[in-house]
A = this chain, B = another copy of it.
Amino acid sequence: MLVRVLGAAAGGGFPQWNCSCRNCRKLREGTFAGHPRSQTQLAVSADGLAWFLINASPDLRFQIEAFPPLHPRSNSPRDSPIHGVVLTSAEVDASLGLLLLRESQPLIVYATEGVKRVLVEDNSFFGVLRRQADQARWRPVTPGEPFGLETIEGLPTGIHCMPVATDATYPGYVTPERSSSLPEAQASIGLFFEHQGNKLAFLPGSPTVDDEWIKQIETCDAILFDGTFWSDDELIRIQGTGRTARQMGHMPVGGPDGSLERFSGLEGPRKIFIHINNTNPMLDESSDEHRQVTAAGWELARDGMELEI
């Protein structure tokens, strides 16, 4: 299975439009020891012909143009090698890009019922995906129940997904009343992909790590894990207000309960942080935090990174 990282930043991207934290400021000045990143987005394919997007970032138009295998072939005026999208949540940075996949193109969308309801029932914008009958073909995903990715023609690709529920809640834009009407375990999922016996874990947002996941991850070839924040109070210190990393659904990388510590015994898979917030000090390749991460055997995902699983 081919895995292309089209974007590796958290919501807002790096740099973020209204941010002049040390990282964003130095990046714009051209003095930053590191790289810009667009918002987290994967594309996967079993054969290099039929592609599936994992999440749908707000930067998707530019991410598609930057990766020629996702361009339309020239044998039809309207066409795309993108057959479907798998959503892990209804967060704006994970789902807004669906609205960029308009223009009457048929598309399979794999999402939990909870995520679909938040998007489609609560946002009339999604009418742009109903311009043609059978344009967006929603397929319900249930945590714990594996499913196979199929082409728009209904052919199996050989890629299998196992969705797992995370402890993250519905996004901040969903009111508490609305959230309470939706299945709690469907708010946010992680994905274990399998193709021809090879495995990839994609867990871009999770405040906790289940012991059962650790066992699953040990059998994977690679893991792309939540690298949003270094510390639990990172945004509060910069903004002066707000929620902790864990309250926002993210396990911090550093600290005694962080992911470096939690995964310290992990031997098998290639370990890669993704969904990295613009404020995270580990983005700076001259920082102590970056040294800690690499010393622990982790890599940072970057736009354009490719894995073959």
Q: Which residues from chain A sit less than 8 Å from chain B, CB to CB?
A: 12-13, 15-21, 24-25, 28, 58-62, 64-65, 68, 70-80, 82, 92, 96, 99-105, 118, 122-128, 130-131, 172-175, 178, 238-239, 242
Contact = CB atoms under 8 A, between A and B. Distances in A.
7 contacts: A19-B72, A20-B79, A25-B74, A62-B62, A96-B96, A123-B123, A123-B125
Nearest to A126: B173
A20 B74 contact: yes
Contacts of A17: 60-61, 64-65, 70, 72, 80, 100-101, 103
A175 B127 contact: yes
Contacts of A24: 72
B125 A239 contact: no
Given A58-B58, A58-B61, A127 B20 contact: no
B78 A127 contact: no
B100 A58 contact: yes
A21 B77 contact: yes
A123 B75 CA distance: 37
Contacts of A78: 18-20, 238-239
A178 B123 contact: no
Given A77-B238, A96-B96, 8 more contacts: A15-B65, A17-B64, A17-B103, A18-B101, A19-B77, A122-B123, A124-B178, A130-B173
Contacts of A80: 17-18
Lowest 7 CB-CB distances: which A-B pairs, in order? A127-B173, A122-B124, A20-B72, A18-B80, A18-B105, A123-B123, A20-B74
Contacts of A122: 123-124
Contacts of A21: 77
Nearest to A122: B124
A92 B126 CA distance: 10
Contacts of A104: 239, 242
A190 to B, nearest CB: 23
Contacts of A130: 173
A103 B19 contact: yes
Contacts of A128: 92, 172-173
Contacts of A131: 172
A99 to B, nearest CB: 6
A77 B124 contact: no
A75 B73 CA distance: 48
Q: Report which residue of A17, A65, A74, A131 has the largest number of chain B beta carbons within 10 angstroms of its beta carbon.
A: A17
A20 B61 contact: no
